[in-house]
Amino acid sequence: MEPAVRIDGKQVAAEVIATVKKHTAGLVGETEITPGLAVVIVGEDPASQVYVASKSKMAKECGFHSVQHTLDAGTKQADLLSLIETLNNDPAIHGILVQLPLPDHIDEGRVIQAIAPDKDVDGFHFINVGKLGTGEISSAFVPCTPAGSMVLIERVRGRDLSGLTAVVIGRSNIVGKPMANLLLAANCTVTIAHSRTRDLPALARTADILVAAVGRPQMVRGDWVKPGATVIDVGINRIPAPERGEGKTRLVGDVDYDGAAEVAGTITPVPGGVGPMTIAMLMANTLVSACRIANRQPPVF
């Protein structure tokens, strides 16, 4: 068998960003509405700061109005909610993103539900979750990681997945459940599996499309993969890499890439697969929000 074709998430993400830039320039030129993204970070978590910096940088590159609010770790919940209310009412802001995790004294759920659903570009508000769950995808915001994963699947398999079987390993609200809903909307037959699933390898082998989103390094082995399947690896895990020197680490996904690539038809690498798509879809969602405000047809990604 031929080894799997590697799905280049960096390239597809670059294509999404190019579309965002083009439509943003058109929107600004014709309506004078500039897509606005506000990113809120609470505390000094280094990983969160890296993410937020890259989001703000990409927003500027796309020609957006980009605002960043950095609050100290001791910020009261009431003050954070007050800031979100201000952003909800700011006509220059079309997307609001609160970087998770938040400090322990702040109720994440309450903060997420305080964001106006039409500015909820992360797609976590119950209204957007409900729209996705009932198939109202054209008016919903879909969480960025599953949305990006779906774009990669469509590039390989087309937009209509009728007759194909998908298995999603992981049932999180951020990836697993919305991923399953997107696949259902594309006419896939979908099973959600998780840590309590009996004989997970046998179930995984039934999948034409296998999505791994569990957060366990290299859990999905090559012999879990159906020959010719499309494998989407959402996991990002750091593991020790003594071969690179003492104390060194490397990034791996939830899939044993080398083993799976011998069997799969197409597969996403880690890094360079789903990761770049997440930030690209955040930009896409922000542009879509601005297009809706301007009563313009948003682009399809």
Contact status, residue 156 vs residue 7, Cβ threshold 8 Å: yes
User: Which tokens sit at 243?
Assistant: 């071969």
Instruction: Give the DSSP H/E element, type plus range, for residue 281.
Output: helix 274-293
Q: Pairing mode, if any, of strands 95-98 and 165-169? A: unpaired
Closest Cα to residue 192, out of 172, 174, 208?
172
Q: What's the number of CA atoms in the CB half-sphere (13 Å) around residue 98?
A: 29
Strand partners, 63: none
Strand partners, 41: 70
Helices first, then strands: H and E counts in the chain: 10, 11
CA quadruple 262, 263, 265, 266: dihedral sign = negative
Closest Cα to residue 277, out of 12, 39, 6?
12
Catalogue the active-site residues: 55, 99, 122
Long-range CB contact pairs, 102-110, < 8 A, 24+: 102/42, 102/43, 103/42, 103/43, 103/73, 103/74, 103/75, 105/77, 106/42, 106/75, 106/77, 106/80, 107/77, 110/77, 110/81
Separation between Cα atoms, residue 36 and residue 40, nearest integer Å: 13
Separation between Cα atoms, residue 55 and residue 39, nearest integer Å: 8
